[in-house]
Amino acid sequence: MNKRFTDIWGWPILLAVLTTLGLLSALLGVGIWHWLAWASLAVPIIVIWHYWLRPKR
């Protein structure tokens, strides 16, 4: 079955937006902005871990 555009690109676009946000927020601010950067840049890594490395039951 073929998928719609959003089925294929939903996650990649979300991860791209979060990465961009993370890269910029640490550059433009300190304190809370650094936390925001760490959190949003960690999301792609967590997603990769979830689908690839997480032990399967």
Partner 1 sequence: MSIRKWYLVHKWTSLACTAFLLMLCITGLPLIFHEEIEHLSGVVEAPPMPEDTPYASLDKVAEAAHKQRPGDVIRFMFWEQDEHPHVTLVSMAESMDAPPDAGKIVLIDSRTAQILDEPPPDRGFMYVMFKLHVDMFAGLPGMLFLGFMGLLFAVAIVSGIVLYHPFMRRLDFGTIRREKQARLKWLDIHNLLGVATLVWALVVGLTGTINTLSQIVIFIWQSDQMAEMTAPYKDLPVPTTFGSLQASIDTAKLAIPDMHVSFVAFPGSMFSSQHHYTVFMKGNTPVTSRLLKPALVDAQTTELTDAREMPWYVKTLLLSQPLHFGDYGGLPLKVIWALLDLVTIVVLGSGLYLWIKRRKQTEKRLTELEQHHAARA
- Other C-beta atoms closer than 10 Å to the C-beta of 46 total 10
Tell me how far, at minimum, the Cβ of 36 lies from partner 1, in Å: 10
Q: Interface residues for partner 1 in 25-54 (CB under 8 A)? A: 26-30, 34, 37-38, 41-42, 44-45, 47-48, 50-52
* Nearest residue to 36 (alpha-carbon basis) of 26, 46, 48: 26
In the numeric block, the tokens 């910029």 are attached to 24
The residues that touch partner 1, with contacts defined as CB under 8 A, are: 1-3, 7-12, 15-16, 19-20, 23, 26-30, 34, 37-38, 41-42, 44-45, 47-48, 50-52
